[in-house]
A and B are shown apart, each in its own frame.
Chain A
Amino acid sequence: MPVTNVTPDLDQLTLTIDAEFAAPVERIWQVYADPRQLEKVWGPPGYPATVVDHDFTAGGRVTYFMTGPEGEKFAGYWDITGVDEPNGFTFDDGFADADFNPNPDLPVSKNGFTFTAGGAGTKARYVSTYASAEALQQVLDMGVVEGSTAAINQIDDLVA
């Protein structure tokens, strides 16, 4: 069970996820530094991600789109704000149009990922911050479909 702790902060609209991976820090770093690996883990089931640009440096931009079950495309970008290889990086995560122009009407979340040696190999901490409850809802309504369905699907198991 790789997720060790989940801390939602309802006032700050921050979600902090702690996880442990049975691999060294450099290996976990590689998942993000290699676009072909990143696209294997980023999109939810049924929404595979394709990473297009991958300028993984401070000030650089990563662009990607997720393809839905009916072929619909959800484009997004990361503006990398800080990189500390292999210990972590920070970025702003936003939505974009089909040409990867950032969509200013949709919310941008601030994210910080840190990787430290420990536990089973690497302790990872993922912190995502949203500007408002509306922003959070918009994000969930967008490509993050798995979020709400997976939560409701747990009820299926409960009542089965």
Chain B
Amino acid sequence: MEIKVMANILDKNDQLAAEVNAQLSRRGIFALNLLGSPGSGKTSLLERTIAALKDELRMAVIEGDLFTDKDADRIARQGVPVVQINTGGGCHLDANMVKGVLDRLDLENLDLLIIENVGNLVCPAEFNIGEDMKATVLSVTEGEDKPLKYPLVFKQAGAVVVNKIDLLPYTSFDLAAATEDITSINPQITLIPASCRTGEGLEGWFDWLRGRVAAKKAAAGRQGN
């Protein structure tokens, strides 16, 4: 016997993601899903972001990691609330994991929640975790073939930070070619060349984030919260 099913495999995850997003949206919190390879500089970008914005925005961080809490320690030293999720080897966060830690955050007093996903350009792209937007960090030491190799993390992202541009003279990374590939995958993306080491370009990233947070607040206000 043949049974017509037509069921989306990730429906259960997407449903939980919608629940997470609803909980955050009710309070006008902008949630960012931060993606990138190991070593691309996600945690450094987070440290810079916290230092620049913590007096201006009420922020919290969820740290996804395979096994360790090293990154969470680094973030906690910056003086913002941080919750650790260990995936125990799993290659991505899913919505259920995020939902499980939401009650450990003071949601009533929050403007911005940044979720640092597991270091991996492939798997996290498939799983919504309740975010409003994804952002991807790509470092120039990874090579410019990454966008066409893993197009989904660039297609899904609202912004991409091309990190470590201070190292451009020492690599064969072609910034113009990478820009061309990324913007043809995602013509709407905000592309920010930057260096988390020198601080160059980061003002553009902070402004992008400020803009997203303000837009989310305005949208929540319109819904009469």
Q: Is this pair of chains taken from one and the same complex?
A: no
Listed in ascending order, the chain A residues whose CB lies under 8 Å from chain B are none
